[in-house]
Amino acid sequence: MALAQAHEVKERIITAHRFSEDAVTIHVIKTTGDRVLDRPLSEIGGKGLFTKEIEEALLSGEIDIAVHSMKDMQTVLPDRLVIGAVLPREDPRDAFISLRHRDFAVLPKNAVVGTSSLRRKAQILHARPDLKVVDFRGNVQTRLRKLEEGVAEATFLAVAGLKRLKLEERITAPVSMEHMLPAVAQGVIGLEVRDDDAAIVPITASLNDATTAHAVAAERAFLARLEGSCRTPIAGHAVINDGEVYFRGQLLSPDGAKCYDVSRRGKVEQAHDLGLSAADEILSQADAALLVRSNA
């Protein structure tokens, strides 16, 4: 997935600036999140699991641009680093994948569902507390193989990732956002740069998609206010239309028993503040014990 995203960024830079093919090179960096596959993400750390080593390479000058899935990005970046651009958003929905069942609603009682996402686990159990959810780590191909081996009846993956890997045919059914609100910034590729790099900053800035940037601003403000991490079931999605932003967010208990849902609408210039306001509403209503766990 990371490699597919890096190649997309390379092609966009070459096209936008008419660079030669060898003017942009890809440097592969393995992160902690890539290497540790025997434990759930919630047990080994927060969102920095997929960014720390890449950001260290950026700060040292080993690389000039870090390519990230924005949903993996921490809300507070290291000193000297900024998001230089976000690319146009791919389909943000989750995909239901099963070899035996046509959609989530028809899964048999007590069926086993695999996912590595605490957010998806909470949403699954909120909708179907009868289901059993097991941890499903590994790349997309590994997770699909686990289905074939019968480890689980079904799983959920991001539609965007499957499309970027040309694996759309493996999607059994996209899941409506009414039933499964995606992770904050799901489907968005972000380009992280050094804030004082006069040569690189304008190159990445030329690729920025303003509509996506406004949506991500609302979503990440919501996440930041709730201090979410891989230990916290948080979902959020914003849509921009005719100069207005519509935002919806959720905070769930890890077992899915509780779900706090909030929405906001306003001008795009207010995107960041709308995300904060939505989070404040949840903070005023959510169970205190849940908030303590969420911010631990």
Annotation says 197 is catalytic: no
259 exposure class (CB count in 10 Å sphere: 0-12, 13-18, 19+): middle
In order of 7, 41, 42, the CA distances from 38 in angstroms are 28, 9, 12
Backbone angles phi, psi at 251, to 5 degrees: -125, 130
Nearest CA-CA partner of 143 in 157, 131, 132, 133: 157
Contacts of 225 (CB under 8 A, 6+ apart): 275, 276, 279, 280, 283
Place of tokens 């306003």: 266
Catalytic annotation, pick one of 34, 64, 72, 79? 72
Backbone angles phi, psi at 127, to 5 degrees: -80, -35
14 exposure class (CB count in 10 Å sphere: 0-12, 13-18, 19+): middle
Pairwise CA distance, residues 116 & 143, whole Å: 10
Catalytic residue IDs: 72
